[in-house]
A = this chain, B = another copy of it.
Amino acid sequence: MSPKIIDEATLEAREEEIMRTALEIISELGVAGLTIDKVVSQLPYSKGTVYNHFTCKEDLLTGLCNRSVKSVAALFERAITFDGSSREKMLAVGYAYMLHSMLNPTEFMLVISAKTPSVREKSTERRQEEHVALENRLLGGLLQVISNGLASGELQLLPHLSPAQVAFSLWSMSFGTIALLHETLDRCSVRIEMQLERELVNHCNILLDGLNWQPYTQEHNWMDTIDHFKNELFAPEVEQLRERLNG
């Protein structure tokens, strides 16, 4: 009279296994090349089992998207620990976003795909809510830095702008820049990746100047700050990126 009960932990492990396999397929064949059949064929489970975890292909995509946002959030949380001014921390967040997109181009495109109505509409309510929660977690980090900036007086908030709006402006700017430069991103070309870095820093600095966030672009050596990002704060990620470009 007692059923076979599955361990919660193994269930999660299996879900992760499915997602990892799906991501491998997407990396090789693109989002359009992802097929439940292909995922199943590379797993020791049957199709029915996969469908117990994800209601459809789109639900799987949203799951992958959330997985990616989680790792971005982790990077953001490191970024705001940067030992420097509040504006430098803000820039660190933008830089982190960019690094993540370079290291995980597939996953960055996935986030765009998952925002497509056709994908979103088909996803589970549960996973959609998780997505919103995760995005709020991202914004939370930014809001913390903004609060620091206000407290120290480095940021003079324009009367018509709320902290949330400031956070959103940096996010929009970074997202737009990465998304538009991503399309030309060839994984073999160092030059183009470096262009993305330059433009992203430029755009963030323009934005932060416009927000009256001191020290202004001309009042600080931002090359130094970026060097600190590369050699200290994000040293592992930059190293990883360098290896991938050379090897």
Determine, out of A111-119, A228-236, A239-247, the stretch whose residues face the partner at the interface.
Answer: A111-119
Nearest B residue to A174 via CB reads B176
Nearest B residue to A122 via CB reads B32
Q: Which residues of B contact A168 (CB under 8 A)?
A: 180, 199
Which single member of B32, B165, B179, B217 contacts A176 (CB below 8 Å)? B179
Determine, out of A14-22, A84-92, A205-213, the stretch whose residues face the partner at the interface.
Answer: A205-213
A214 proximal to B (CB < 8 A): no
Q: Which residues of B contact A151 (CB under 8 A)?
A: none
Would you call B169 and A206 a contact (CB within 8 A)? yes
A52 proximal to B (CB < 8 A): no
| Given A112-B116, A210-B206, A217-B158: A175 and B169 interface contact (C-beta under 8 Å) | no
Q: Which residues of B contact A118 (CB under 8 A)?
A: 30-33
CA distance A203 to B206 in the complex (A): 11
| Given A158-B217, A206-B207, A207-B206: A180 and B169 interface contact (C-beta under 8 Å) | no
A68 proximal to B (CB < 8 A): no
Q: Distance in Å from the Cβ of A216 to the closest Cβ of chain B?
A: 9
Interface residue SS majority, chain A = helix
Nearest B residue to A203 via CB reads B169
Q: Which residues of B contact A112 (CB under 8 A)?
A: 112, 115-116, 179
Q: Which residues of B contact A115 (CB under 8 A)?
A: 112, 179, 182-183
CA distance A112 to B120 in the complex (A): 14
- 8 Å CB interface, A141-172 against B: 158, 160-161, 165, 168-169, 171-172
Q: Which residues of B contact A174 (CB under 8 A)?
A: 176
A173 proximal to B (CB < 8 A): yes
A sample of 27 cross-chain residue pairs with beta-carbon separation below 8 angstroms, ordered by A number, consists of A31-B117, A32-B122, A33-B118, A109-B117, A112-B112, A112-B115, A112-B179, A113-B116, A115-B182, A115-B183, A120-B183, A158-B217, A158-B218, A160-B202, A165-B202, A169-B202, A172-B173, A172-B176, A172-B180, A173-B176, A173-B207, A175-B179, A176-B177, A206-B210, A207-B207, A209-B210, A210-B210
